[in-house]
Amino acid sequence: MKWDTCDPSEQYLLHLGDDALVLGHRLSEWCGHGPILEEDIALSNLALDLVGLARQYYQLAAKRIGGGTTEDRLAYWRGERDFKNHVLVEQPNGDFADTMARQFLFDAFHLLQLEAIEQSPDADLAAIARKALKETTYRAQHSSEWVVRMGDGTDESHSRINAALKRIWPFTDELFQPAEVDRIAAERGLGPDVRTLREPWLELIREVLAKAQLSLPDMPQKLLRGKSGVHSESLGFLLAEMQSLPRAYPDAQW
C-alpha cells in the first residue's frame, strides 16, 4: 500500500503516532540500562506511555484507512520513508544527559501541540489529545526536573547536559517548520500552525534553563524533512530492530 496516498487527515494521525512510537521505542532501549533503578523504571514507564499513545493514533488511523489495516500493520510494515516522525525523536539515546535533553525539548513541544489538538473539531482526535495531555505533563515535569538537577548540579553534570543540549538543539527547528502534513492539518483545524508554537516553546525552555543555570544554545539549525519521510541514518536501524520479529514471523501472535 502506498501510504502517501491516504487522506491527509489520516497522514496527520500517522505523523503523530510515529513521533510517539519512535520516541517510545528509543526510551525502551534504556530498560535494564538506567543509571539508577528508579530512573530505569521511569524511562520504561515513559516508553510505555508513548507506545500506548502511538497505539491510540494508529488504531484510529487504521479504522479510518480501512481495508483491513491494523495498528500492527502501521507499526511494523511501513518502511523508513513512510514514517513521518520528527528527526529529533529518532536520535540515538547517547548518554543519560543526551536522552534527557531530547526528552525535555520534545516534551515542551508536545505539551503545546496537544493543547492545540485538544481543540480540534475531530472529536476522536481531540479525545486522544485530552487524555495524553495528562501523562505528557508528567513527562515534561520529569525531564525538566532532570535538566535542572544536572545543570544546577556538579561541574561534571553541568557540562554533560550543556553538551547534550548543544548536540540536540539543531534538531529542534523542524518542530516549527510546517511540512505538507502540518499545513493541511492546520487548514482543517486538526492541529496547530506549528510556527505559532515556537515562541511559547522558547518561553518554557528559557524558564527551565534559567533555573538550571544553563543558557539557550545558539547552534545553527539543521534543515530537516523527517515529516516528509526523509530521515537520518538512525531511523533505519531502529526500525530494522523494532520490525524484525513480525517480518520474520508474519503470523506471530503476542
Partner 1 sequence: MVSADDLRKRLHLVPDPEVPALSVLDLGIIRGLRIMPDGCEVDLSPTYTGCPATEVIERDVREALEELVGKGNVRIKTVLDPPWTSDWISEEGLRKLESYGIAPPPKRSSDKRSLLGISTPLNCPRCKSSHTERIAAFGSTACKSLHRCLDCQEPFEAFKCI
**Which residues here bind partner 1, judged by CB under 8 A?**
38-39, 41-42, 45-53, 56, 123-124, 126-128, 130-135, 137-138, 141-142
- Helix or strand or coil: residue 237? helix
226 phi, psi to nearest 5 deg? -60, -40
Are 218 and 59 contacting, i.e. CB atoms less than 8 angstroms apart?
no
What are the b/e assignments for 85-124, b being 16+ CB within 10 Å? Answer: bbbbbbbeebebbbbbbbbbbbbbbbbbbbbbbbebebee
Q: For residue 235, what is its C-alpha cell?
A: 531511523
CB of 120 to partner 1, least distance (A): 12
Nearer to partner 1, 124 or 156 (CB): 124
Nearer to partner 1, 49 or 98 (CB): 49
CB of 249 to partner 1, least distance (A): 21
The Cα 230–Cα 226 span in angstroms is 5
Measured in whole angstroms, the distance separating CA 107 from the mean position of its chain's CA atoms is 8
Nearer to partner 1, 134 or 195 (CB): 134
CB of 100 to partner 1, least distance (A): 14
Nearer to partner 1, 38 or 155 (CB): 38
3-state helix, strand, coil in the chain (%, to 5): 70, 0, 25
Nearer to partner 1, 130 or 167 (CB): 130
Altogether, the residues listed in the chain come to a count of 254
